[in-house]
């Protein structure tokens, strides 16, 4: 120890924590930098772990999480009574294969493909497909949605034969229990569950279900741990939809159309029955039909709802517009006398002809006998501007309903006033130069039936959630008054006379109910698009019943009937009669007793016809005593003889016919001169159409000469071998 010298002062000790030396400062800086770098590395790692995890970690995490997709069925579709399902869901088997278990793909395909109706080469190719790593697939579809009964039976055998290789998975598909009933209205859902057409598409927002999810952690045995739920979203069942369609009325309409189309050899037909006050559609059909259960077996054109997409010239059924307008404008009354020019008229450079010529007669008679001359004269009273306004007021030229997919319903064809030509005022009143849809025509007749208001046709009444809550209810727009109640009442009376005495006489009559309506027959455009075809027609009957309190409006359209009597009353009237009668009875509408009495008198008159000479099919005259069955045949034959194009009668009512009285001969095959001479000898005026040889005549051969007022003959440049008259 160093000794302190005597007299030296002791040094004061250095205080703790005194000023840092430069070396210490440098060391502290280095330590601080190192710590900051360390924290930065840790923070970066934490960021990467949590926000940009390693794929391996994701894979590992996924192994401990299980997820189940929860499914719910699509909503059902019911008819108006809510007791018949028109669309529902059905579980069907789908077959899949574990390709890793298939040692011989060729043998497998040869064994499995034939029973399932598959192509064995295509199946073999699918089995031999490989993953990116060159391994067979653990899962490959063999055949999905096996709904065919024969194939479903084959599945059981194949599963047993290829146990452990083939497997079944139940899948839900859309099922239509009523098969083709109302198919064009309903549309369909494809195999992938996508709504594709019709109601299924328009109301998909209500019908479709929403999938749910159930996610939990899994234990080491890969079992879901209900105690470790990570996410749960329940599936939502689709809402049920209730229609206004009555399945019984729908079936009747479809069957009646099919039967009449077969009788008339017609390729297309359609019809609708509707409540005239609410617009609720009881039934609507387009023929031919298709089965939405097998939608992919049909061409797209077969699935098109022609009742809303296709338009046609309505012919004389359109005359209600001009008639109602003129009465509403007080230009005419039922008793207004109109000169029908003895059946011929040329007001606008185009000759117009009536098949039953008249002179000056009341408008009521003009309407019931569908005088073209008279309706053109009435339209001239209205003038172009008012006629155009009235056609639009009756709902033509625009779509009718919100219930159809946007853009699916045709507005028809109604040209703007400035685009009319010089012939339009002579064509439009008769239902030419205008294209209408089935629903537009039904809506216009509903105006007359319901007392004068324009309603919106619809066929979806409501949608209901699974708990019964109403999520959609049809709300009709405010009804628009078109004509007064008094005008509507007059029009109902006029339409009733058409059925009693005019162009629809006996064909559309219903024994229990009074009927009002109008026939229509229009030439179709030629297939070349230039002018009208001479042998292709659209036939129409539109009407309502009972007349005193209409409960149903019905329109029947049949296209291209390949029979001689190709006019609306003859072709469409019987379909109207049958379906409307059944519908009214089904709806418990009380019968009209007064009309039953009238019909009884008509039957008694028919039975009072004595025995006489009638023409056989071979043209020979035969004498016979009429049985009850023959009387019924004669009644039908007389109805046929009283029909004409758009219904003007070519015969007059007859009383007793003396046995051996002369009858109208069969003129088919005769030249124009020969036919004219024969008719002149009998004292019968004629209405020749065309040149060449006779190919059809009205009235039919065998009609008593005393009953014939006019004989209409159709001529062709080519002699034709015609089939016997189907009546």
Residues β-bridged to residue 453: 481
For residues 251 and 235, membership in a common domain is answered with no
> Please, what's the largest Cα pairwise distance for the chain?
184
The alpha helices in 6-129, defined as continuous H runs, are 22-51, 55-62, 105-116, 120-127
Distance of alpha carbon 676 from alpha carbon 538, whole angstroms: 30
Q: How many domains does the chain have?
A: 3
**108, 158 in Cβ contact below 8 A?**
no
Instruction: Summarize pLDDT for 663-678 with one digit per residue, the tens.
Output: 889 888 888 778 887 8
Using the 3D structure, point to which of 599, 620, 643 is the last residue of a domain: 599
| Cα 245 to Cα 563: distance, rounded to the nearest angstrom | 32
Q: Which ranges of 469-509 does DSSP label H, i.e. alpha helix?
A: 485-501
Q: Are 638 and 605 in contact (CB under 8 A)?
A: no
Place of tokens 């699974």: 466
User: In the prediction, which pLDDT does 280 show?
Assistant: 97
The pair phi, psi for residue 217, each rounded to 5°, is: -80, 160
Q: How confident is the model at residue 596 (pLDDT cuts 50, 70, 90)?
A: very low
Instruction: Please tell me which residue, 472 or 25, carries the higher pLDDT value.
Output: 472
My answer on whether 203 and 287 are in the same domain is no
Q: How many CB atoms lie within 10 A of CB 486?
A: 12
Q: Which two tokens stand for residue 501?
A: 């005495």
CB-count exposure of residue 144 (10 Å: 0-12, 13-18, 19+): middle
For position 81, which CATH number holds? 3.90.1310.10
Predicted local distance difference test score (pLDDT) of residue 16: 58
CB within 8 A of 619, min separation 6: which ones? 666, 701
User: Based on the domain organization, do 375 and 485 belong to the same domain?
Assistant: yes
Confidence (pLDDT) at 212? 86
Contact predicate 516/547, CB 8 Å: yes
Position 9 pLDDT exceeds 80: no
The pLDDT of residue 367 is above 90: yes
Q: What is the pLDDT of residue 348?
A: 86
Is residue 563 over pLDDT 90? no
Nearest to 140 by CA among 161, 160, 116, 169: 169
Distinct helix (H) and strand (E) counts, the chain: 22, 26
Checking if the pLDDT of 128 tops 90, the result is: no
Whether residue 222 is found in the same domain as residue 162: yes
Q: Which two tokens stand for residue 145?
A: 């949605």
* Rounded Cα distance, 189 and 303, in Å: 13
Residue 634 domain-assigned?
Answer: yes
Res 629: pLDDT = 42
Cβ–Cβ < 8 Å for 672, 628: no
| Residue 443: CA count within 13 A, CB half-sphere | 27
Tell which residue, 698, 669, 430, has the closest CA to residue 565.
Answer: 698
Q: Assess whether pLDDT exceeds 80 at residue 55.
A: no
Q: What local confidence, expressed as pLDDT, does residue 17 receive?
A: 61
pLDDT of 164 over the 90 cut = no
Q: Which residues make beta-bridge pairs with 241? A: 77, 463
Answer whether residue 654 shows pLDDT above 50. no
Separation CA 517–CA 536 (nearest Å):
23
Contacts of 598 (CB under 8 A, 6+ apart): none
pLDDT single digits (tens) 142-161 = 888 887 766 777 777 787 77
Residues 542 and 556 in one domain: yes
Complete DSSP assignment for 571-604: HHHHHHHHHHHHHHHHTTPPP-HHHHHHHHHHHH
Q: What is the pLDDT of residue 477?
A: 92
What is the phi-psi region of residue 12: left when phi exceeds 0, alpha when psi lies from -120 to 50, beta otherwise? beta
Selected residue with higher pLDDT from 329 and 690: 329
Tell me whether residue 676 is in a domain.
Answer: yes
The span from the CA of 282 to the CA of 250, in Å, is 7
Cβ count within 10 A of residue 213: 14
Least confident of 36-40, 176-180, 578-582: 36-40
Lowest mean per-residue pLDDT among 104-113, 388-397, 599-608:
599-608
What 8-state DSSP symbol labels residue 356?
S
Whichever domain contains 666, its CATH number is: 3.30.10.20
Residue 468 lies in a domain: no
571 and 634 share one domain: no
Q: In 53-79, which positions are buried (b, 16+ CB within 10 angstroms) versus exposed (e)?
A: eeeeeeeeeeeeebeeeeebbbbbbbb
| Residue 505 domain-assigned (yes or no) | yes
Would residue 40 count as lying in a domain?
A: no
Find the distance separating the first CA and the last CA of the chain, reported in whole Å.
152
339 and 448 housed in the same domain? yes
Domain that holds residue 363: 247-293+306-463+479-599
Q: Are residues 361 and 382 in the same domain?
A: yes
Query: How many Cβ atoms from other residues are within 10 Å of residue 397's Cβ?
Result: 18
The answer to whether residue 12 is domain-embedded is no
- pLDDT (0 to 100) of residue 346: 87
* Average pLDDT for the chain: 82
Q: How confident is the model at residue 558 (pLDDT cuts 50, 70, 90)?
A: very high
pLDDT tens per residue across span 79-127:
999 889 999 998 888 888 888 888 888 888 888 888 888 888 888 888 8
Do residues 579 and 616 share a domain?
A: no
Residue 162, in any domain of the structure? yes
**Residue where a domain stops, chosen among 599, 632, 665:** 599
Look at 3-17, 304-318, 505-519 and tell me which has the smallest mean pLDDT: 3-17
Residue 648: the pLDDT is 38
In the predicted model, what is the mean pLDDT of residues 689-695? 75
pLDDT number for residue 517:
95
- Of 241, 257, 277, the residue that ends a domain is 241
- Alpha carbons 67 and 217: distance in angstroms, whole number: 9
Q: Comparing 127-141, 243-257, 350-364, 540-554, which segment has the lowest mean pLDDT?
A: 127-141
In whole angstroms, give the CA distance from residue 226 to residue 99. 33
My answer on whether 552 and 690 are in the same domain is: no
- Angstrom distance (rounded) from CA 562 to CA 548: 36
Helix or strand or coil: residue 106? Answer: helix
Residues 312 and 209 in one domain: no
Identify whether 417 is part of a domain: yes
Statement to judge: residues 338 and 455 lie in one domain: yes
Q: Report percent pLDDT > 70 for the chain.
A: 83
Kindly state the DSSP code that residue 722 receives in the 8-state scheme: P
Put simply, whether the predicted model's pTM sits higher than 0.75 gets the answer no
**Interatomic CA distance for residues 290 and 182, integer angstroms:** 9
């Amino acid at each position: 120890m160093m000794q302190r010298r005597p007299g030296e002062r002791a040094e004061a000790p250095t205080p703790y924590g005194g000023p840092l030396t430069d070396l210490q400062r440098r060391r502290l800086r280095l330590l601080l930098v190192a710590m900051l770098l360390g924290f930065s590395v840790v923070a970066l790692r934490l960021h990467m772990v949590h926000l940009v995890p390693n794929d391996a970690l994701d894979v590992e995490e996924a192994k401990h999480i299980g997820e189940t997709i929860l499914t719910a069925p699509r909503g059902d579709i019911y008819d108006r009574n809510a007791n018949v399902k028109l669309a529902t869901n059905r579980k069907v088997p789908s077959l899949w294969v574990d390709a890793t278990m298939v040692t011989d793909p060729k043998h497998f395909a040869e064994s499995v493909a034939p029973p399932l109706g598959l192509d064995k080469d295509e199946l073999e190719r699918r089995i031999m497909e490989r993953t990116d790593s060159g391994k067979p697939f653990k899962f490959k579809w063999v055949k999905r949605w096996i709904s065919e009964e024969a194939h479903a039976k084959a599945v059981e055998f194949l599963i047993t034969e290829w146990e452990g290789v083939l497997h079944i998975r139940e899948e839900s598909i859309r099922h239509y229990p009523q098969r083709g009933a109302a198919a064009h209205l309903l549309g369909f859902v494809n195999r992938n569950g996508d709504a594709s057409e019709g109601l299924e598409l328009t109301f998909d927002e209500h019908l479709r279900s929403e999938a749910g999810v159930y996610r939990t952690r899994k234990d080491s045995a890969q079992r879901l741990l209900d105690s470790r739920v990570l996410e749960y979203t329940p599936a939502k069942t689709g809402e049920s939809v209730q229609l206004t369609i009555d399945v019984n009325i729908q079936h009747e309409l479809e069957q009646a159309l099919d039967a009449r189309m077969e009788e008339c050899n017609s390729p297309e037909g359609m019809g609708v029955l509707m409540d005239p006050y609410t617009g609720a559609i009881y039934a609507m059909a387009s023929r031919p039909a298709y089965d939405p259960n097998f939608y992919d077996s049909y061409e797209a054109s077969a699935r098109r709802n022609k009742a809303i997409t296709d338009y046609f010239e309505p012919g004389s059924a359109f005359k209600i517009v001009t008639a109602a307008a003129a009465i509403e404008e007080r230009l005419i009354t039922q008793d207004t006398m109109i000169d029908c020019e003895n059946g011929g008229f040329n007001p606008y450079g185009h000759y117009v002809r009536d098949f039953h010529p008249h002179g000056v007669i009341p408008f009521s008679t003009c309407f019931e006998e569908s005088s073209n001359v008279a309706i053109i004269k009435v339209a001239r009273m209205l003038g172009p501007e008012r006629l155009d306004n009235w056609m639009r007021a009756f709902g033509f030229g625009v779509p009718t309903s919100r219930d159809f997919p946007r853009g699916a319903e045709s507005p028809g064809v109604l040209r703007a006033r400035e685009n009319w030509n010089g012939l339009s005022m002579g064509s439009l009143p008769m239902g030419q130069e205008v294209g209408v849809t089935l629903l537009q025509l039904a809506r216009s007749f509903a105006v007359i039936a319901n007392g004068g208001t324009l309603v919106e046709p619809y066929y979806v009444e409501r949608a209901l959630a699974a708990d019964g809550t109403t999520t959609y209810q049809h709300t009709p727009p405010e009804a628009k008054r078109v004509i007064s109640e008094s005008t509507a009442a007059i029009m109902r009376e006029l339409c009733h006379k058409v059925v009693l005495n005019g162009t629809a006489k006996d064909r559309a009559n219903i024994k229990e109910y009074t009927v009002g309506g109008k026939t229509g027959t229009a030439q179709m455009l030629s297939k070349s698009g230039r002018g009208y075809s001479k042998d292709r027609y659209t036939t129409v009957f539109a009407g309502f019943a009972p007349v005193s309190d209409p409960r149903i409006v019905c329109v029947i359209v049949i296209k291209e009937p390949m029979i001689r009597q190709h006019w609306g009353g003859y072709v469409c009237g019987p379909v109207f009669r049958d379906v409307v009668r059944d519908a009214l009875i089904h709806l418990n509408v009380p019968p009209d007793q007064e009309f039953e009495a009238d019909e009884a008198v008509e039957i008694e008159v028919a039975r009072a016809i004595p025995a006489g000479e009638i023409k056989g099919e071979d043209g020979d005259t035969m004498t016979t005593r009429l049985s009850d069955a023959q009387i019924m045949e004669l009644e039908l034959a007389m109805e046929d003889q009283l029909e004409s194009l758009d219904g003007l009668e070519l015969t007059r009512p007859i009383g007793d016919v003396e046995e051996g009285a002369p009858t109208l001969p069969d003129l088919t095959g005769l030249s124009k001169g020969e036919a004219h001479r024969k008719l002149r000898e009998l004292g019968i005026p004629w209405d020749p159409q065309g040149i060449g040889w006779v190919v059809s005549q009205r009235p039919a051969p065998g009609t008593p000469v005393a009953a014939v007022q006019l004989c209409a003959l159709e001529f062709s440049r080519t002699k034709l071998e015609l089939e016997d008259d189907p009546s």
